[in-house]
Structures are given as C-alpha cells and as structure tokens.
Structure 1
C-alpha cells in the first residue's frame, strides 16, 4: 500500500486560517455562544491571536514582501495594523472591567475594522504571497510561524512616523 505524499502547506492558507479563527472568536463573543464565560474567553483569545498575527506579519512576512517590491500594499496593511493595535489596546482596557457595555462596543468596532482590513488583505497580500516569495522564503516563514510569539512589550509601530519600516 502506497501513500500519496501530503500536499505542501501553503503560506497563504496558514495566514488565512489565522484570520478566520480570530473572526470566529469575535463572532462567538458577540453572539454569546457558549454562555458569557466562554464568550468572554473567546474574545480574549481573539485579542491575543490578532496581536500575534500582526506581529508575525509586521516582523516576518512584510519585510520580505517589501524587498520583493510590494511596498505600497504592505504600507497600507501596516497602517491598518497600527489602527487595529490601538483598538486592541482600548479593548484590553475595557476587558479589565468585564461586563461593561464598552467591551461589546469595542468588540463591534474591532470586528468592523478587522472586516475592512481582511477584505483588502486577502486579495492584495494573501493572494500574492506564493507568487511573490520564493519557495525557500515560504518554507522559512512556515517554520518561523510555527514558533513565533509576540515578544513581551512589542507594539505595532506607526508606519506614518519617520524612520518606521
């Protein structure tokens, strides 16, 4: 009995899966799926996962895409990441006081910002990752993604500030 080799894991699929999980966790919170405790935990997981997603893209993926000539699209996504990071900071502050209406409002704002961001990121960045990066770069990134964690104290830089990026 022979086994067909597994198809290679695509970088865009891995990055997309992270986006979908984050979106699902926010949806779970807003729909209060699983009850208030589970829903609140899901929102906390979404916040942490989105911070890590932003870190991975800003520090690992985007530098390679910039080198490959995608400066404009990457800059636009970095501006979105900075805005999302600020929203995450506000949401973290609201989460410190569970049950406040500010948490639901902030979660809705985050959901809207994330929907807008991913509707651009998917066709502009994710759809071109495999075409733009070499197979070696993709393999290296996939390996890095499996071990990447946002370092304590890391924050998303404002790409509109001189000297950033």
Structure 2
C-alpha cells in the first residue's frame, strides 16, 4: 500500500546568505546532511502549507511570521520514496533578522549563496537549489518530479504549474 506524506520547507535568505541546517547525525531523514528548515504538515494544515512552513520556521529557528518577508510558494516537489509519495511545498523568503535560535534537529548556519552547493546536500534538494539558482525567483510555481534522465541517471523534471483555464 502506498502512503502519502505532505511537507513544507523554507529556503530563507538574509542578504546574500542562505539559512541551512546541518542535520543531526541522529535524525532519521538525511542525517548529517545540509538542508533547509521545514517538516511535515499537521492534519489541520493540509489545506494551508504556508501556515505549516511558518510554524516550522518558528519551531526550528525561533523566527516569527513578522520576521519573514516575501514568503512565496516557489516549488512543489513530488517523489516516490519506497512506498510513500512525498509532496513537498517549498517556499522562499527573506528574514528581517539574522539571529536564529537552536534546534535539536541540527545546527543552523548562514551560508554565503556561492558556497551553498559545496555542502553535502540530499540529491533532490541539490537539484532544487541548482534550478532555483539558475532560474531565480519566478512569478509562477515550478513542479518537480523525481525520475530518471535519458541515460538512466536520477533526475528531477521541472514544469511550470499553469492553470489551463487562465491561458
């Protein structure tokens, strides 16, 4: 039986630095790797992933909604992970404060944008960041599906999310 899991993630910037978490080696998901803040949607957040990402930002950094500017949904990633379909809502935003709290999920660090991709990052998150750093902020949402390229290598395929009724 295939299960579904919904998640929300925040790619946070302060100036030209991006907030990254070096995940604790004791974590189940991506132990010891670098990632952004985020987590699973609670049942009451299913229809409001923005509320979930703001909750996760607060839980993992101490930043409140009033410390976040220009929060916008930029990506939706869909992938199959064993018997689980994962749908992840990825938001980008700027922080008005640089001071962040601590979390037991890992260590938080502000990383200069040009150094971000030099970290050990999970494959799908690396592909997302490569795409974002190439395409930049966009007025539309990108949908990424994990799969394979023509040579059989792992890949993420990007498509603009478009409402056909509005075209």
The TM tier, using the shorter chain, reads under 0.3
Higher strand share: 2
Q: If the length of structure 1 is used for normalisation, what is the TM-score?
A: 0.22
Q: If the length of structure 2 is used for normalisation, what is the TM-score?
A: 0.22
